[in-house]
Amino acid sequence: MIAKVIEYIDAHRNEYVDRLKDFLRIKSISTDPAVKAETRKAGEWVLKLLKDAGLKTEMIETPGHPSVFAHADGGKGPTVLVYGHYDVQPTGDESLWKSPPFEPTVRDGSLFARGSADDKGQAACHLFAIEAWMKTAGKLPGPVKVLIEGEEEISSPNLETVIRSNREKLACDYIVLSDTSKFNKTIPAITYGTKGLVYKEITLYGPKQDLHSGSFGGTVTNPGNALAHIIASMKDPVTNRVLIPGFYDDVLEMDDDEKGKMLGLPFDELKFREDVGVNMTNGEHGYNTVERKWVRPTLDVNGILCGFTGQGGSTIIPSKAMAKVSMRLVPNMNPRKIYQAFDETVHLLAPQGVRIEIKTFGCAAPYMCPLSSPAMKAAAAAIEAGYGVAPAFIREGGSLPILPMFKEVLGAESIMMGFCDPNCNAHGPNEFFDLDDLHKGIRSAAQFLEKMAKG
């Protein structure tokens, strides 16, 4: 049957492009209240596609944008839940776009539009694959559910409630999503791990107002100096190891299989340096750039605000100093534990004479799907069949807090199949999705359903 499904997909290749364009014309910017009604229309577009394909569909309402739910009882095998999102990021400065963000335009084999890669185009790969199965076989090869939400770009504020209150309905064995990228332009990827995040803001308060540094310098603690000391003391200047006690205690080291796969990837260190604009890379000793990016935890200052920063000089002792510091966590670090250890360390390092205030802006767990999972193997075989190229197994330095949440509430692992270019300008101007990736993505998604059902 799969041969017929693939034949159908190949025959409808151009039609998929036109239909994706319709989806992309809908201004579903979830953060913008002015397009709230229009955002819903993108959800309705998804719902209609699935309903017309013959699935049972339903709009799950939330206080914000609704989630589209659909399901079809296929044959035997594990239940697959397709997750994606129909909302998109704002356009940013529209003058930087070569063609308007909501007028999908094909140039050099790529479809340019906001959401083309993140995530309408990639989610559509799965939707079109489901449809292709229904049109050719009249049913899906195994039990399939679909959940396409409308608030991913605003951190999914209602998704956890949707999932917790629909636990039975959404029950599944695996989640599949395409909201990550390929390894490079030619090699598709399966992302099997994401980092967690703890984001902090430290403010140190000293004198009640800025003081004359001649008259008062040396008599009180300078919050700027104190903050610099705290930040500098958190990392070893030679090894770049984070010095917060217990920071590395729960870090999961790679086994030989994983390490072999990772170090075998054709990572181009020189190109990486060129892309980020540095003449050398630097990080935790004992690890290469790929390991530092994907499997090692990090601590970074994201911003510092203190004292006089205008032109020329102003001789003051600042009354306060503030820094934003984020830590990216890897499996199996516990964000709550790191969160507390960070606060304790700041208090220990702070000199006398300042009052400390620490705020937390993010606390997300890392996620990893075992490489040995049968769904992982099915996904790899599906991509190889759909693309004609075996996927790379990669991890991701960013965070996807919904994945540990899926795991906790539904008990299901998530499989991330990446079809878009890693430089697809997601969230930036001129976002694009290659038409070839759309086609091969649909083929791979169709293959995945088949391989999951077969076991």
Q: Which residues bind Zn ion (CB under 5 A)?
A: 118-119, 179
Residue among 141 and 401 whose Cβ is closer to Zn ion: 401
Residues in the chain: 455
CA 416 vs CA 160, 179, 249, 391: distances in Å: 19, 7, 27, 11
In whole angstroms, how close is the CB of 400 to Zn ion at the nearest point?
A: 9
In whole angstroms, how close is the CB of 212 to Zn ion at the nearest point?
A: 51
Residue among 179 and 421 whose Cβ is closer to Zn ion: 179
In whole angstroms, how close is the CB of 149 to Zn ion at the nearest point?
A: 10
Residue among 119 and 151 whose Cβ is closer to Zn ion: 119
Residue among 179 and 431 whose Cβ is closer to Zn ion: 179
In whole angstroms, how close is the CB of 418 to Zn ion at the nearest point?
A: 11
Residue among 119 and 396 whose Cβ is closer to Zn ion: 119
Helix axes 435-454, 120-137, angle to 10 degrees: 50
Residue among 118 and 131 whose Cβ is closer to Zn ion: 118
Would you say 116 and 128 are in contact if contact means Cβ atoms under 8 Å apart? no
Residue among 64 and 207 whose Cβ is closer to Zn ion: 64
In whole angstroms, how close is the CB of 214 to Zn ion at the nearest point?
A: 54
CA 245 vs CA 228, 287, 335, 337: distances in Å: 19, 20, 14, 11
Contacts of 289 (CB under 8 A, 6+ apart): 267, 269, 272, 281, 283
d(CA 304, CA 354): 17
Residue among 119 and 421 whose Cβ is closer to Zn ion: 119
CA 274 vs CA 45, 277, 289, 396: distances in Å: 41, 5, 14, 20
In whole angstroms, how close is the CB of 180 to Zn ion at the nearest point?
A: 9
* Amino acid letter for position 97: W
CA Rg value for the chain: 24
d(CA 125, CA 20): 10
In whole angstroms, how close is the CB of 235 to Zn ion at the nearest point?
A: 31
In whole angstroms, how close is the CB of 397 to Zn ion at the nearest point?
A: 15
